[in-house]
Amino acid sequence: MLEPALKTYIERIPKTELHCHLEGSIQPATLLKLAARHGIELPFTDEEGAKAFYEFTSLNQFLGIFALACSTLKTRQDFETITLDLGADSASQGIPYREVFFTYAYHDRRSIPWEEVISGIASGREKVKQQYNVEMWFIADIDRTVDPQDGVRLVEMAQASRDQAGIIGIGLDSQEIGYPAKRQKPAFDLAKRLGLHRVAHAGEDVGPESVWDALQSLDVERIDHGVRSIDDPALVKHLAERQVALTVCPLSNIELKVYPQLRDHPVKRLTDAGVLVMLNSDDPPMFHCNVLDNYFAVAETFNLNAADIDQYARNSFKAAFLPDERKQQYLADLEREIKKLRSEIL
Ligand SMILES: [Zn+2]
């Protein structure tokens, strides 16, 4: 059992989240609200039913749930609603800074115009700042399976909406098996020329070769997941030496059976090897866990102390795409808060 004092410490220490998907963050209550807004029939009628529906036993079932949740997103107002939800959620978890993925391919397939998505997340982001004092930025993810030309088109659209919606970079997600990162090299080359940050999901369903592929073909600055890097000592050394951050989502990996149990997960081994690891939730309601739950579970399983927690919180700011001066400011605020929390709680 996690010590109550350490639990409170984790709740209150400032931290960022850098690996969370907008479309995977729709809470059951919001899903019901969105469906009612559009007269969409769901296979459940109340929050309890929705929560039960969110239980899945296979990847296919998970993808079905994800698709159903996406189908309730149609208008600017819907995208604003879910962005605002994430703002409230950030405030409740001690997350003053969050970078959030959105994957336009899911909406493009349903003929939702780019402008609906962009104007919704843009106004949601403004309100999140005003109402919760949470700083939120977006990363436009390219679905690995799309035609490379569509990847380039997405980068062009993201660049055009960059200031409006606070788009900070380009990412890569969806099916890793059979779709190497290098397919999307033209899009990432363009993103680099435009000065957009670059990240990629890799090393989740495919081993270290997928992480090398993302690093070498796309010149990404961070790897999302990247946990299977542990199988290649040369890669672990490379990540540690260059301080390439891994945005690790331990409980998501357990839910999707990348590892059978948390004690088999390499989060601690990667950290001990000097890799810049930080902790995230991925798709919170779908995996029944938020950022705090991931910290709690890792702390309990690997018997962490407050100094270990401080390090994960520091790493979370170090890995963020903040301008240097602002990053130093956040890190200085964190050190002040650590001192205060230690004297108050521990
Ligand atoms: Zn993810």
The stretches of the chain forming alpha helices (DSSP H) are 4-12, 28-38, 47-53, 59-70, 76-92, 104-108, 114-132, 148-160, 162-165, 185-193, 208-218, 233-242, 250-255, 267-272, 291-301, 306-318, 324-345
Distance, CA 224 to ligand 1 centroid (Å)?
7
pLDDT in tens, 227-279: 999 999 999 999 999 999 999 999 999 999 999 999 999 999 999 999 999 99
Distance, CA 339 to ligand 1 centroid (Å)?
33
Interior CA angle at 286 toward 141 and 162, to 5°? Answer: 25
For residue 294, give both structure tokens: 């991931």
Which of the 8 DSSP states describes residue 10? H
Distance, CA 99 to ligand 1 centroid (Å)?
12
Instruction: With cut-offs at 50, 70 and 90, classify the pLDDT of residue 23.
Output: very high
> Could you state, in order of their start, the residue ranges of all structural domains in the chain?
4-26+73-333
Helix (H, G, I), strand (E, B) or coil at 225: strand
Cβ distance 115 to 162 under 8 Å?
no
CATH 3.20.20.140 describes domain 4-26+73-333: yes
CA–CA separation, 160 and 163 (whole Å): 8
Distance, CA 103 to ligand 1 centroid (Å)?
11
Active site residues: 204
Mean pLDDT of the chain: 96
Q: Are strands 245-248 and 16-17 parallel, antiparallel or unpaired?
A: unpaired
Instruction: With cut-offs at 50, 70 and 90, classify the pLDDT of residue 96.
Output: very high
Residue 59: pLDDT over 80: no
Percent of the chain whose pLDDT exceeds 70: 100
Distance, CA 244 to ligand 1 centroid (Å)?
17
